[in-house]
Structure 1
Amino acid sequence: MTTLVRRSARGPLVAFGVCAAVVLIAQIPFLRNRLFYVWDDSAVQFLPTWHYLGGRLLEGDWPPLLDVDNWMGGNFAAEALFGIWNPVNLANFVLVNQFDDLAVAAVVVKTEFLVLLALGAYLLCREYGAGRGPAAVIAIALPFSGFTLYYDAATWAAGLMAFTWLPFTWWAARRMARGAGSPLWAFLFGALAVTTGNPYGLLGVCVVMAALLVESWVRGDRPALPRLLVVGGLVALLVPLVYLPLLGSSAVTTRAGQGFASDGVLMPRLSDLLSLSMASHQPMVRGFGHSIRMITPSVYFAWFIVPLLPWLHWSRLRERWRPLAGVFAVAAVYVLLAVGPSNMWMFRFPLRHLEVVYLALGVLFAVVLTGGPKLDHFRRRALLTAGALVLSAYLTFSAGPWQWRHHVISLALLVVGIVLALWLARRRLAAMYGVLVVGVAAGLVAQTAWFPFNGDVAVHNYPRSITELRAQTPPHEGTTFPVGSVLPGNVGLVAGLSSVGSYTGLQFRDFASATCMVYHGNTCAGSFDRIFAPTDLDGRPLVDLIRAGSVGVDNSVRPDVQPPPGWRVSFRSETVTVLSREQPLPWPDGRLSHATAGVRVTEDTSPDDRDESVRFTKPRGQAGSLVFARLAWPGYRVELDGRELTGRQGPAGLLVVDLPADVEAGQVTLRWTPPGLPLGTALALLGLLAVVAYSGFLRWRSRRPDPAPLVDADHEPADHEPADREPTGRERADA
C-alpha cells in the first residue's frame, strides 16, 4: 500500500517540477534582455491594449466590445485576437492593469502561458503512454523551441495563448474518447482554444478532433466516434460568437495578406528540420522585408532530439501505431501546412505551424524514449550519433559560416551533453533526464547571448513604464490625429493620448485610404493636407468631422509645419509639433461632429461608446444629415422616435444619418451591436448547456449494468496507461 501511495503521489510531484523548471528557465531571456517579452506586436498592440482593457473591466465594462476613440483598432469584437470572450484572457487583462512596467507585466503573463503549455504537453505525453521522465523532458523543452519562444512568446502573444490550450484540448478529448474523462473538460479546453480569437487555435482544435476520429476508427473504438463528434460539434457552437463580428465587418475592412498566395515569407523547408537541435542554426527562410535568412533560431526544437535518435526504441512506433495514429495524423497535417503556401485565407506565415509539428514529434519522442535509451550495439549507435551531429553542424555552418564560433559552441554542448547523458543512463536514469533538462537551460543561455531579441521583426523604442511614458507624451487636447508616427500602435491607450492612429489587424478601408493610414497607426506626410482639405459635407474638413482637438506632427515626416487658420502651435520639440484648436468643438457631450445646413441640434449625449442620442429641429420639407465622429462599423441601429433609419458611410467611412424631409423635430438614437452577437451568444449558451446535459447522460449510462460486455479482440489494454515506474537496468538491457 505504501508503494502504491508513493507512486500515485509521484505524478503530481513531477508535474509540479515541470512547472517550476519552466518558471525558472523562462526568466533567462528576461534577465538577458528585460524587453524580450515585450517586442514588436507585444510592445505596440498586445500589452498596451491588455492594460487598457483591464482598466475597462475594472470599471464594469464587460464585454469591452468597442472603443470609438481607438478608431480602426477599437472594434474589439471584430478584431477577435484579443479574446474578449476568454475568461483566462480577461483575468490577465486585469492583472496587467495592476503593473506600471509593461516589461514586468509581459514576463509574468508570458511565463504563465509557457508554464501552462508545458503542463499540457506533459499530460499529453503521459496520455499516450510515455514515462514521467521523457514526458517531463519534452514538456520543459517545448516552450523554449525557437518559434514558440522568439515569435509567440516574445512578439505574437495571441499565438502563444492559442497554442497553449491545444495540448490540453488534445489530452482531454482523447481521455473522453476512451471513456476515462468527462466531455466537460474536452469542451472547456476546446472553448479556451477557440475563444482566444486566434484562428490558429480554431484550426488546431479542428485538426486534433479529426485526428482523434481517425485514431478511434483505426483502433476499432466505435463508441469513441459519437463522443468526439458530439463534443466537437458543441465546441463549434462557440465559433459564431468569436468570428461572426469579424466576418460581418469584412465588407468595410481589408486585411493584408488574405487570399491564396506564396511569396516565400516564413516558409520553412523540410531540410531545416535536420538542424532542429543546433542552438545556433539560422535557417535560410525568407523573413520580412528583403531578408533571405532568419536572424533567430526559429526552427530549433531541443538540443537532445537529434543526438538521441539512434538510441531510441523505434520498434514501439511499429508495434503501437494504432493508438498513436492520432499523433501521426496531426504531425502529417501540420507538416503539409508548414511547407505549404505562405498565404491561405486567414492563415499566413507557415512557420507558425511548426510548433504543432514539434508537439506531435515530442509525444512520439517521449514514447520511444520511455525506459531510457537502448544501450546495446553501443559502437554502432555512437557512430550514427556522430554522423547526425556532423551533418547538423555542417548544415548550420552552410547557412551562416561567419557565425562559426557559435556553431562550434553549439556542437560542443551537444557532444558533452549527450556523452554525459548516456553515461548516466547506465547508472541512474533520473539523472540522465536531469541532464537533458539542464541542457535546455544551457542552450537557452547561449541562444539569448547570440540572439537577445527577435531581430526578424520590428523594434519599437519607447518607455515601458506607464508613468514615464505619460510624462514624456506631448500635451494635447482631445482626440489627436498623428501625422507620421507620434506614438507607435496602441501605446496611446496607456500614455493618456487619445489618438486616431491605432494598431489593427482590420483596416477600415475608406478611413485608411482617406487619411493615408497603415495598419500600425502611422500616416504619411500627405495626410496633413488630406485632413484639412474640404469635404463634400458643406466643405467641412475631415479634421473637424473626426472631432480632432489636436494634430501631432512627426517633425521627421513634416518639418517646420505651420498651423492652418483656426489652429495654433501648442507644443514643439525636436521630434514632435502639436497643433491645437483655437476654439472648442461644439456638442462636447457626444460624438456628433456636423449637422448640415438647416438642422439645429439642441442636445447630443453619448453615455458610452455604443450609444448616442441627438435631439434636433429643422424646417419641414427639407432633408438634412447628421455626421458622427464614428466609423460606420456594420451593426449600427438608427431610430428616429422609434422609426428605423439607415446609417451610411460618409467621408472617410464616418457614420452619417440622413434625416427625412417630412420631419420637423425629433430624437435620433444610435445603438451599436456587433454583427452576429445575438446569434453567437445564443449558440454559445446552447453549447454550454448541451455539454452539461451530455456529460450527465454519459455518467448515467456508465452506471447502468452491462449484462453482456463486448470483448474487442484487438484491444490493447495498456496503450493509454502511462508507465508507473522506470524499468530496471536488466529490463533495459533485455529491451
Structure 2
Amino acid sequence: MTSARDTFWRRLRWPLISVVLTIALAASRVAVNPRFYFADDTERGSFGQWWSLGEHLSRGTLPILDPSAWQGGNYFAEGQWGILSPVTWLIGLTAYVTPDAALHVTAWKILFLAIFAIGMYLICREFGASRPWAALAATLAPAAGFTVYMDAASWSTGLFDSCLLPLVWWTLRRAVEHGKSPIPLVITSFTLVTFGYVFGVIVLVVLLVETLVRHIVLRDRVRILRTLAASAWGGLWTIVVYLPAMMTSAVTTRSEAPYENTGFLNADISDLFSSASPLTVATIQSFEGAMTSGPLVYIAWILPLLPLFLPIPRANVTRLLPVWIYGAFALAFIIAPSDLG
C-alpha cells in the first residue's frame, strides 16, 4: 500500500528536479562570467532604480515626483520603477543594503528563473502533461535564448514578467476553470501588473480574452462571471500603473512612436527555423548592430522531435486550444512590424 509520504515524494520529485536543474544551469553561466546577470540595462538602470527605491523605503517614503531629476523624475509615469510592487520593494531594500551589487542581482534573477520552472511545471500539468514531460518543459523554458541572453542578462522587468506568467496562467485556470480559491490569482496577477512592464500585461489580456470568449461560446455563465471578475481586478491595477504614462505621453517620445518595421529587435520567419539550435545566431538587429551575438530565437532542442508525436489525438487538440491561441498570438507579435506605437 502506498503511504502518504511516498505519494508526496512522487508529486514533489519531478518539479524539484526541474528547479534544481534550472538553478544549476543558471549558476553555470555565472561560473563562466561572474557578471552575466549584471549587464547592460540591469547594470546601468535597474540596480540604480532598486537602490534608490530602497533608500526611499528605508526612510518610510516612496519616490513619486522629483523635478530635479530632469527627464526621469515622474516615477509614476515610468511603471518599471515598480513603486506599487511589494516584490520590487523587497528587491530595492536588499539592493540598498547589499555589499555586492552583482551578487545581489544574480541571486534575485536565479530565484525568478526557479519560479519560472515551477510555473511551467504547473501549467503543463494543468494541460495534461505527465510529470516527467512537465518537468522537461519546466527545465527547457527558462533556458530559452531570449530569456537567457536578453531578459536574464539585461532586461530585469522583462525577466520578472516572463518568469511569473506561467504561474499567473495556472492560477487563472485554477480559479476560473476549477472554481478554486481566487486568492492565488489575485496575488500573482497583482504582482505581474505592478512590475510595470507592459508586455506581461498584454499577454495577460490575451489569456483573459481567450478564456472569456471560450466560455461565452460554451454559454458557461459561471465561468464567464469568474473571468470578468479576474479581468476587473487586473484591469483596475493596470489603470493605476499605466494611466500616468498614457496621460503624460504627449510630452514624451511616446507621442512620436511610429508604426513601421525597422527590423530592430525583430525576428523574421526564416529565423524561426533555427529555434531548435542553441548555437545559431539569428538575424535580429539590436544595439550591437545588424546581428546579435546570441541565440535569441532558440526555444528548445526537442522541437525537431515533434513529428514523432503526430498525429495529435483530437481530445488533446481541443484541450490545448488556449495554448494554440496563445502561440498564434506570440508568433504574430514576433513577426509583426518592429514599431507598433
Shared topology, TM-score over 0.5?
yes
Could you say which residue in structure 1 is the equivalent of 2:20? 20
Could you say which residue in structure 2 is the equivalent of 1:381? none
Could you say which residue in structure 1 is the equivalent of 2:222? 223
SS class of match (2:272): helix
Measure, in 1, the Cα distance between the counterparts of 2:150 and 2:170.
Answer: 25
Q: 1:217 to 1:276 in 2, by over 3 A?
A: same
Q: CA deviation at 1:297?
A: 0.7
1:294 aligns to 2:292 (yes or no): yes
Matched to 1:17, the amino acid is: I
The more displaced of 65-74 and 241-250 is: 65-74
Could you say which residue in structure 2 is the equivalent of 1:50? 50
Measure, in 1, the Cα distance between the counterparts of 2:4 and 2:52.
Answer: 50
Could you say which residue in structure 2 is the equivalent of 1:181? 180
Measure, in 2, the Cα distance between the counterparts of 1:199 and 1:103.
Answer: 26
Q: 1:323 to 1:198 in 2, by over 3 A?
A: same
Could you say which residue in structure 2 is the equivalent of 1:310? 307
Matched to 2:41, the amino acid is: D
Q: Map 1:155-166; keep pairs closer than 5 Å.
A: 155-166=154-165
Measure, in 1, the Cα distance between the counterparts of 2:17 and 2:30.
Answer: 21
Contact 1:51/1:94 (<8 A) preserved: yes
Measure, in 2, the Cα distance between the counterparts of 1:9 and 1:180.
Answer: 27
Measure, in 2, the Cα distance between the counterparts of 1:214 and 1:339.
Answer: 25
Q: CA deviation at 1:4?
A: 5.8
Matched to 1:91, the amino acid is: L
Q: 1:68 to 1:112 in 2, by over 3 A?
A: farther
Q: 1:241 to 1:285 in 2, by over 3 A?
A: same
Measure, in 2, the Cα distance between the counterparts of 1:65 and 1:31.
Answer: 39
Contact 1:219/1:323 (<8 A) preserved: no
Partner residue of 2:326 out of 315, 326, 330? 330
Q: Structure 1 stretches of 5 or more lacking a match?
A: 346-735
Matched to 2:109, the amino acid is: K
Q: CA deviation at 1:292?
A: 2.8
Larger Rg: 1
Matched to 2:126, the amino acid is: E
Measure, in 2, the Cα distance between the counterparts of 1:323 and 1:252.
Answer: 47
Matched to 2:321, the amino acid is: A
1:252-299, CA deviations, whole angstroms, 9 ceiling, x for partnerless residues? 32249723121111221223222212121011223336x332211101
Q: Map 1:100-499; keep pairs closer than 5 Å.
A: 100-217=99-216, 221-255=220-254, 258-288=257-287, 291-306=289-304, 308-312=305-309, 314-316=311-313, 318-345=314-341
Measure, in 1, the Cα distance between the counterparts of 2:64 and 2:10.
Answer: 45
Contact 2:194/2:237 (<8 A) preserved: yes
1:211-246, CA deviations, whole angstroms, 9 ceiling, x for partnerless residues? 223444566644312211221122101112111221
Contact 1:218/1:322 (<8 A) preserved: no
Measure, in 2, the Cα distance between the counterparts of 1:300 and 1:283.
Answer: 9
Matched to 1:28, the amino acid is: S
Q: 1:121 to 1:86 in 2, by over 3 A?
A: same
Aligned residue pair count: 341
Could you say which residue in structure 1 is the equivalent of 2:36? 36
Q: 1:86 to 1:103 in 2, by over 3 A?
A: same
Q: 1:15 to 1:257 in 2, by over 3 A?
A: farther
Measure, in 2, the Cα distance between the counterparts of 1:5 and 1:217.
Answer: 42
Measure, in 2, the Cα distance between the counterparts of 1:26 and 1:280.
Answer: 17
1:291-331, CA deviations, whole angstroms, 9 ceiling, x for partnerless residues? 3322111011122222x223325423x33222211111111
Contact 1:172/1:181 (<8 A) preserved: no
SS class of match (1:268): coil
Q: What is the TM-score of this pair, normalised by structure 2?
A: 0.93
Could you say which residue in structure 2 is the equivalent of 1:76? 75
Could you say which residue in structure 2 is the equivalent of 1:429? none
SS class of match (1:51): helix
The structure in which a higher percent of residues are helix is 2
1:165-186, CA deviations, whole angstroms, 9 ceiling, x for partnerless residues? 2111111111112224222222
SS class of match (1:223): helix
Measure, in 1, the Cα distance between the counterparts of 2:251 and 2:112.
Answer: 34
**TM-align CA RMSD:** 2.0
Matched to 2:96, the amino acid is: N
1:572-598, CA deviations, whole angstroms, 9 ceiling, x for partnerless residues? xxxxxxxxxxxxxxxxxxxxxxxxxxx
SS class of match (2:76): helix
Measure, in 1, the Cα distance between the counterparts of 2:270 and 2:219.
Answer: 36
Matched to 1:311, the amino acid is: L
Q: CA deviation at 1:42?
A: 0.8
Q: Map 1:650-661; keep pairs closer than 5 Å.
A: none
Matched to 1:320, the amino acid is: N
Could you say which residue in structure 2 is the equivalent of 1:95? 94
Deviation above 4 Å: which 4+ runs of structure 1? 217-222
Matched to 1:304, the amino acid is: I
Q: Map 1:654-673; keep pairs closer than 5 Å.
A: none
Matched to 1:78, the amino acid is: A
1:355-384, CA deviations, whole angstroms, 9 ceiling, x for partnerless residues? xxxxxxxxxxxxxxxxxxxxxxxxxxxxxx
Contact 1:15/1:122 (<8 A) preserved: yes
Contact 1:114/1:143 (<8 A) preserved: yes
SS class of match (2:319): coil
Identity across the alignment (%): 32
Measure, in 1, the Cα distance between the counterparts of 2:155 and 2:67.
Answer: 25
Contact 1:215/1:322 (<8 A) preserved: no
1:434-482, CA deviations, whole angstroms, 9 ceiling, x for partnerless residues? xxxxxxxxxxxxxxxxxxxxxxxxxxxxxxxxxxxxxxxxxxxxxxxxx
Matched to 1:322, the amino acid is: T
Contact 2:249/2:255 (<8 A) preserved: no
Measure, in 2, the Cα distance between the counterparts of 1:23 and 1:259.
Answer: 40
Measure, in 2, the Cα distance between the counterparts of 1:127 and 1:79.
Answer: 35
Matched to 2:295, the amino acid is: P
Measure, in 2, the Cα distance between the counterparts of 1:218 and 1:28.
Answer: 48
Q: CA deviation at 1:188?
A: 1.9
1:501-541, CA deviations, whole angstroms, 9 ceiling, x for partnerless residues? xxxxxxxxxxxxxxxxxxxxxxxxxxxxxxxxxxxxxxxxx
Q: CA deviation at 1:76?
A: 1.6
Measure, in 2, the Cα distance between the counterparts of 1:77 and 1:163.
Answer: 22
